[in-house]
Structure 1
Amino acid sequence: MKHTALITGASNGIGLELARIHAERGGGLVLVARSQNKLEQLAQELRTQYGSNVTVIAQDLAAPQAAQAVFAQTEQAGIQVDILINNAGFGGHGRFFERELAKEQQMIQLNITALTELTHLYLQDMARRGGKILNVSSTASFMPGPLQAVYYASKAYVTSFSQALAEEVREFGVTVTALCPGAVATGFVDAGGLQDVGAWKNAKSAQSVAEYGYRAMEKGELVAFNEGKLKFALEWIIPLLPRKTVLKMSRKAMEK
């Protein structure tokens, strides 16, 4: 497959919309998510509508060794991945000490470890011929997040890692983009128990965020914000405020 994108978390939300965008542009796809049925349905849609060459890999990236399993399957199939889109991730709501530790560990495994492993595995080849990486982060990565402590911290890693990596691989013709959206109307809300959190009252559509992120990736942008007001606040206002004030503001945004 030529011009092939591997997308994690491709069965719904931003990942699904990114898959549709890439298929519409004539690219091949490797779709990765937990649900075999949802992936097959999407694959059939893209094959029928766009004539896309689609490979489906059902894998739970929150499980140890899952990233290596995905890589092994693409290697065995002889698939060259030109674009890596690390989209899979989840959050959770509540005081850290009251939440299940296993859930927090799974979050770290998916949001940080799997993303890092997939990037390392596919970057080996990209460094020889060029490529693009899009890491779906969050505006949450720019401040601590009381009531979502691990999620915010995990996204801070993604944004920092992406920028450092972008500088390392620039000379090899590889671009790395961190997409940092605000609230997005996806299954993330239900999965994270965020239904009544005020920050999601004006959530953007997954389609609009995916379109913005894909364009930013094509341009090789470093950090992409889909909301101008949020970008201004995070880059020019939040850094000037006292830390305790930022923490109080962040917590209020997450309260139900």
Structure 2
Amino acid sequence: MSTALVTGASAGLGVEFAGQLAARGHDVVLVARSRARLEEVAERIRREHRVRAEVVVQDLAAPDAVPNVVAALAERAITVHTLVNNAGFGTAGRFEEIADGRDRDQLMVNVVSLVALTRALVPQVLAERGAIVNVASTAGFQPTPYFATYSAGKAFVLNFSLALRAELKGRAKVLCVCPGPVETNFFDTVEVGRSAAIGGRFTTPEAVVKASLAALDRDRGYLVPGLLNGLNAHLTPRRPRKMVAAIAERITRTALGDALTGTVTR
């Protein structure tokens, strides 16, 4: 039986990816920081889907995160067929007011650990003729003031995924998922709240993951779930970049109002 590893598997999209992959018959490895949440998710998956569900407790912002995850897999003799790089969080606010080191942690989780874990596990994925799913965001299609590091990191994830897909074509699938606002804990902070969605239309984790796995089945390169999100993502990059940034700054500043500094998590 093939195994899927899902990062950020204690909440939101990660839980949904793990559940839907388990429903397809995959064993799952759940990676996140919270042992209690992971154990709860793992137990539910074992009970409902009768598959193996392993827990690896790891903060992906730590410098030794990926070696620790790889060592845990080796100890349990697990080979990964499908890697879902879902873990991530975002900071919001004026760049100079965000807590020192917080954006560094964000990039470690959203970019550095994503690349390092992909590199560590890609030999297994290739041997299994499996798949890599990277979760980016519609924010990755444009510069977004007050989410400067987040949007830049997601642009990296999108471009990295598309380049890797071209390299691995015919040997493994690579899909980049770029959701708009999703009904997860991403926006549930006192400082920022749901205003951070900037007027976007919310969708559910179940719908995003269902569409993602269908796109993976069709070997799509990337997916923007939702018609309106898709239109915005494809039209925005065709406008002058400076103009896009200026418009985004005004819209985002207005939406966030006085609550410009905060941290949001997926």
Which category of TM-score, normalised to the shorter sequence, fits these structures? over 0.9
Question: Aligned residue for 1:69?
Answer: 68
Question: Aligned residue for 1:244?
Answer: 242
User: What CA distance in whole angstroms lies between the structure 2 residues aligned with 1:107 and 1:191?
Assistant: 16
Give the residue type in structure 2 aligned to 1:176: V
1:210 aligns with 2:209: yes
Question: Aligned residue for 2:166?
Answer: 167
CA change 1:121–1:192 in 2 (3 A) is farther
Q: Deviations over 1:189-213 (max 9, x none)?
A: 1359431335266321111111111
1:4 aligns with 2:9: no
Question: Aligned residue for 2:57?
Answer: 58
Shift of 1:41: 0.5
Contact 1:183 1:200 in 2 (8 A): no
Which of 244, 252, 255 is residue 254 of structure 1 equivalent to? 252
User: What CA distance in whole angstroms lies between the structure 1 residues aligned with 2:249 and 2:184?
Assistant: 21
User: What CA distance in whole angstroms lies between the structure 2 residues aligned with 1:164 and 1:88?
Assistant: 20
Relative to the length of structure 1, the TM-score reads: 0.94
Question: Aligned residue for 1:147?
Answer: 146
User: What CA distance in whole angstroms lies between the structure 2 residues aligned with 1:74 and 1:198?
Assistant: 36
User: What CA distance in whole angstroms lies between the structure 2 residues aligned with 1:252 and 1:9?
Assistant: 32
The RMSD of aligned alpha carbons is: 1.6
Relative to the length of structure 2, the TM-score reads: 0.90
Shift of 1:132: 0.2
Question: Aligned residue for 1:223?
Answer: 222
User: What CA distance in whole angstroms lies between the structure 2 residues aligned with 1:136 and 1:210?
Assistant: 10
Give the residue type in structure 1 aligned to 2:175: T
> Matched residue of 2:242: which SS?
helix
CA change 1:192–1:177 in 2 (3 A) is farther
Identify unmatched segments of 5+ residues in structure 2.
257-266
User: What CA distance in whole angstroms lies between the structure 1 residues aligned with 2:128 and 2:238?
Assistant: 42
User: What CA distance in whole angstroms lies between the structure 2 residues aligned with 1:50 and 1:9?
Assistant: 20
Shift of 1:231: 1.8
Which residues in structure 2 correspond to 1:1-256 (within 5 Å)?
2-171=1-170, 173-190=171-188, 193-195=191-193, 196-199=195-198, 202-235=201-234, 237-255=235-253, 256=256
Question: Aligned residue for 2:259?
Answer: none
Give the residue type in structure 1 aligned to 2:248: S
Instruction: Number of aligned residue pairs: give it.
Output: 253
Percent identity of paired positions between Structure 1 and Structure 2: 34
Q: Deviations over 1:94-115 (max 9, x none)?
A: 0111111210000010000000
User: What CA distance in whole angstroms lies between the structure 2 residues aligned with 1:119 and 1:132?
Assistant: 11
CA change 1:9–1:225 in 2 (3 A) is same
User: What CA distance in whole angstroms lies between the structure 2 residues aligned with 1:129 and 1:192?
Assistant: 44
